[in-house]
Structure 1
């Protein structure tokens, strides 16, 4: 991706007139602590919800419990009041995870839906990433199963009515082993229909086959543990066997493979050095395009694309522009974990946003969990120069362990400074997973996934702390602990600030870490403190967070002369610092007293409480 230089108004003025504003220093654009890319107003704030768990009010939580025992949330339960509360939190989008029909052990045969084989279903409810019918929604989510699609369409309408946009999953790499669409529109050919099963690979085939073999259920897999099920016998009839979703070309995948899924063929001959055959356009490309158009016409505003990097960038670059012809405002988010492919999936594949998991998330987690130095945060945005604002930041999602779980931080407050950084460091999207804001710890062994610090995506379950906030449709959190209520208030203030702040939405960035670390300023413990500036012509912000777990710190924060230049601030004027996020008294300072690199006492004096994030607005001193 071609990198674009972020030019401040001061620099533009200087270039045109050769004389910058009075007392504003000349800007050094080569400063490595200054963001050097074009910034646009694209601050999506996304609330991810696991749809079947979101509104479940049952508290039974029995391991491998049935739908009747443990309960399940419905489309109809997601009412305007709940959606209004989501909107009030500061969110622009809601990601409904697990909408499209997937394989399950629950029996819906009385509605004409075939019963799935328990030996290729993970958990009682099944994985939402083992799609069973791309043209249907999960019957679990419907009050009136035959009218399930109408109930989903009504949910989309309600969501739009309160001012939120809808994101759903698109799972392009694989489908359930039992895939068969009984809801596809007239004239649509099913995936796999017409495949030549005598060939491992053919550009006309939708799947990869292993001729002369039969699929073998992993011998380590015991569906539902010791519990019985009508279709549980350790066998699944699939001849010839198909390649498994995570590129396993064996009839007997391991239990840790995605054995419940089959790999889709996009014209890549995986067993022959991944030779690419994209002309003529592979049949799978056209079928997946039609599926995306189907959901776009349902009013969906965006797609989170599961394991997007396992599908060739050429397909995405072909399909995304076509889908955006139907709705130019659609957003495409790629789940991707290979930084070497980031530019490719923005430039060639045309994605709007990519997961920033192996960069910022992993760094922040290490700072919280292992005491890694906060200095390492700087390397993340510097390594992503040119694409920072295409990166989606988060501290939880359905794949990651809950912050409050024993496997991560142990208490939710430890996630606050990391969440402030995730939300404000750049202008790209930020995401919160439902229950994160009230400190859900994901306790217990739910079923297939075990006790792993994650909220299950495989079984029927209730999310206790989120249920406490719902308070049986009151949505007032009266049964939450005071600490949980305070935690939620912090999330609400942060997200609403992100939604409205010009500097956060489309401002420049100047990293202050280098100017303050190494004992350069008094009290600034660089391994536990991180600070930076976000700014536009109209708004200048200082953001500072403390990862200290118990220690209150009195520190100075130096602002280099070049940072003042970037913000178009005078090097001699007096300024007021007003806290707009967090709790800190107002501070005044003179610019000349905060820049001296040779004076450890230079800088803005601040008092930082443990596990806190502050945002200060910098304004000229009021007369």
Structure 2
């Protein structure tokens, strides 16, 4: 196995900058949002068997109760303000739960053994796998909400409006709530108030297997017979209109009808031309008395149900596949109930960003296809930091709304060979991602201890931690240390990595400048200083009380020994006095340097090792 190269300066800095039990000083009022995404089923699992296609008895399964007060307090200490509990609503799962009258899903329409969290089977109940006592599964989740709040963090769960499980069974609907499809006219492909799209006269057929795939890895199961009864067939979740979808379609799900006909006609009121400039209260007023499709009402009722349980916000899956008018309707109703609700959407088409923020009233969108993809390319050693400048410039009018991340459940683990192969390669990108804008920062559980996602869980390939099967997460388990949540099994380097994340995230939570102004210094230095390369990136952040210079070195092998020049525009904005002064690095607190200001310019001495970053405060 190739030895992992880790610059000693990073490890030394990270290990020394945080004691094992840091003292909690009186913090400034938190400003930046930090989201900790955790795959709920995997978090508390201490089983290390990791058999491909293993059962929960063989491989183990985490529970709501594994998020103890100790675990939550340690998550909070990392710098977290919101926890996104992924996979909470009851989705398709292989296995019976006779105590609650729930039968197994059909392996022919389930991905993995534990099932996809994005094939929701019952929106008014939680995944029974997550409960110690399945008859009290909702009470156990309500207790987790209360514990999370006790530790001063907010709770986010998934809502997946674009599609539901192919076997949706609402066994827990509140009084008066009709099930999806219960009142549909199945003799027609489409009508406004149908919840699904149909293929009249044709029965659903299980997709033809590819690459030798067999449900459950070929294990015999009474329902694994290559058949699933659905007549007439419904459109598949990704929009396939075939009675037999392709193996690579989202065949485990069916698409929800939002009043958009197969030819694209909208059977609902259009938003007014001024909608992008109106607040959510005006959007709420607009929809009062309007005849909206039945599916809109169903998802409004679902989100109101979870708000009533104390959930503080939602992450909306594949939001761009649902019309923006629906989001205006849904989100304005959510905000009417909880004006502080956190609303995050998965949108991958940059041309739609502003519509979904301004018309759809989303708080935040994934900054995936621009910032994340570019940072990933740089981390892999192929990209240039020059490419960051136009991306940040192009998003400056909506920068606050573009949530930043380097990992989530859909993306490769940084430490996987298929991505960077070394979690320390992400440190410059983490600093940039967390400090370059006022937007929230998100990390994925295990990221902070270098989880590589190497396990063959069954469905899908390694490099991503499986969301479809029962599996353990080895690096995360070392941090859990049998439920002590003290990192007791981590190596010194792994502890240093987690400390590094903690320092970055806590600094961003408590720095007022990071909610202020931004000016890039990269272009000016690239034009003025040949020693400043396209592996470095520098910018300024400031407000009335704090002035910061952020400098990063993405180079794996070369140090940066040069000067950083402050642009004339920044000197004018800051009105710095002429003279020399010592300046202090404030994120990690270990580095000092000189700032020289003359009548003609200003510069800072830089001496940075590979992958090193610093945040200097200018007094």
TM-score in terms of structure 2 length:
0.90
Question: Residues of 2 paired with 1:48 and 1:313: CA distance?
Answer: 25
In structure 1, which of residues 209, 228, 232 is the aligned counterpart of residue 198 of structure 2? 209
Asked whether the 8 Å contact 2:116–2:467 carries over to 1, the reply is yes
The aligned counterpart of 1:613 is: 613
In structure 1, which of residues 96, 109, 133 is the aligned counterpart of residue 122 of structure 2? 133
Question: Residues of 1 paired with 2:37 and 2:409: CA distance?
Answer: 8
Aligned: 1:64 with 2:72: no
The aligned counterpart of 1:379 is: 390
Asked whether the 8 Å contact 1:222–1:234 carries over to 2, the reply is no
Asked whether the 8 Å contact 1:536–1:567 carries over to 2, the reply is no
The aligned counterpart of 1:592 is: 598
The aligned counterpart of 1:304 is: 315
Aligned: 1:553 with 2:560: yes
Aligned: 1:161 with 2:153: no
The aligned counterpart of 1:502 is: 512
Q: Give the C-alpha shift of residue 583 in structure 1.
A: 6.3
Asked whether the 8 Å contact 2:99–2:135 carries over to 1, the reply is no
Q: Give the C-alpha shift of residue 584 in structure 1.
A: 4.9
Question: Residues of 1 paired with 2:407 and 2:376: CA distance?
Answer: 10
The aligned counterpart of 2:62 is: 73
Q: Give the C-alpha shift of residue 276 in structure 1.
A: 4.3
Aligned: 1:346 with 2:353: no
Asked whether the 8 Å contact 2:31–2:509 carries over to 1, the reply is no
In structure 1, which of residues 466, 473, 497 is the aligned counterpart of residue 483 of structure 2? 473
The aligned counterpart of 1:456 is: 466
Q: Give the C-alpha shift of residue 328 in structure 1.
A: 1.1
In structure 1, which of residues 464, 482, 501 is the aligned counterpart of residue 492 of structure 2? 482
In structure 2, which of residues 231, 238, 247 is the aligned counterpart of residue 239 of structure 1? 231
The aligned counterpart of 1:121 is: 110
Aligned: 1:196 with 2:185: yes
Asked whether the 8 Å contact 2:155–2:311 carries over to 1, the reply is yes
Deviation string 1:429-448 (CA, Å, 9 cap, x unpaired) is 00000000000001121110
Aligned: 1:569 with 2:576: yes
In structure 1, which of residues 514, 521, 524 is the aligned counterpart of residue 529 of structure 2? 521
1:11-50 maps to which residues of 2 (within 5 A)? 43-50=32-39
Question: Residues of 1 paired with 2:228 and 2:421: CA distance?
Answer: 41
Structure 2 spans left out of the alignment, 5+ residues: 1-28, 270-289
Q: Secondary structure at the match of 1:239?
A: coil
Question: Residues of 2 paired with 1:302 and 1:434: CA distance?
Answer: 19
Question: Residues of 2 paired with 1:99 and 1:262: CA distance?
Answer: 19
In structure 2, which of residues 534, 543, 551 is the aligned counterpart of residue 544 of structure 1? 551
1:575-586 maps to which residues of 2 (within 5 A)? 575-582=581-588, 584-586=590-592
Q: Give the C-alpha shift of residue 582 in structure 1.
A: 4.0
Asked whether the 8 Å contact 1:135–1:181 carries over to 2, the reply is yes
Deviation string 1:540-588 (CA, Å, 9 cap, x unpaired) is 0010111111222212100012102223433x24433211124653222
Q: Secondary structure at the match of 1:65?
A: coil
Q: Which moved more, 1:141-150 or 1:212-221?
A: 212-221
Question: Residues of 1 paired with 2:513 and 2:332: CA distance?
Answer: 30
Aligned: 1:248 with 2:240: yes
In structure 2, which of residues 362, 368, 375 is the aligned counterpart of residue 357 of structure 1? 368
1:317-466 maps to which residues of 2 (within 5 A)? 317-451=328-462, 453-466=463-476
The aligned counterpart of 1:37 is: none
Give the number of equivalent residue pairs: 568
Aligned: 1:89 with 2:100: no
Q: Secondary structure at the match of 2:380?
A: helix
Deviation string 1:170-195 (CA, Å, 9 cap, x unpaired) is 11000000001101112110110110
Q: Give the C-alpha shift of residue 401 in structure 1.
A: 0.2
Question: Residues of 2 paired with 1:51 and 1:421: CA distance?
Answer: 28
Q: Give the C-alpha shift of residue 317 in structure 1.
A: 0.5
Q: Give the C-alpha shift of residue 94 in structure 1.
A: 0.4
Structure 1 spans left out of the alignment, 5+ residues: 1-39, 597-601
Question: Residues of 2 paired with 1:100 and 1:586: CA distance?
Answer: 50
Question: Residues of 2 paired with 1:259 and 1:250: CA distance?
Answer: 10
Question: Residues of 2 paired with 1:254 and 1:422: CA distance?
Answer: 37
Asked whether the 8 Å contact 1:396–1:403 carries over to 2, the reply is yes
Q: Give the C-alpha shift of residue 475 in structure 1.
A: 1.4
The aligned counterpart of 1:149 is: 138
Asked whether the 8 Å contact 1:581–1:613 carries over to 2, the reply is no
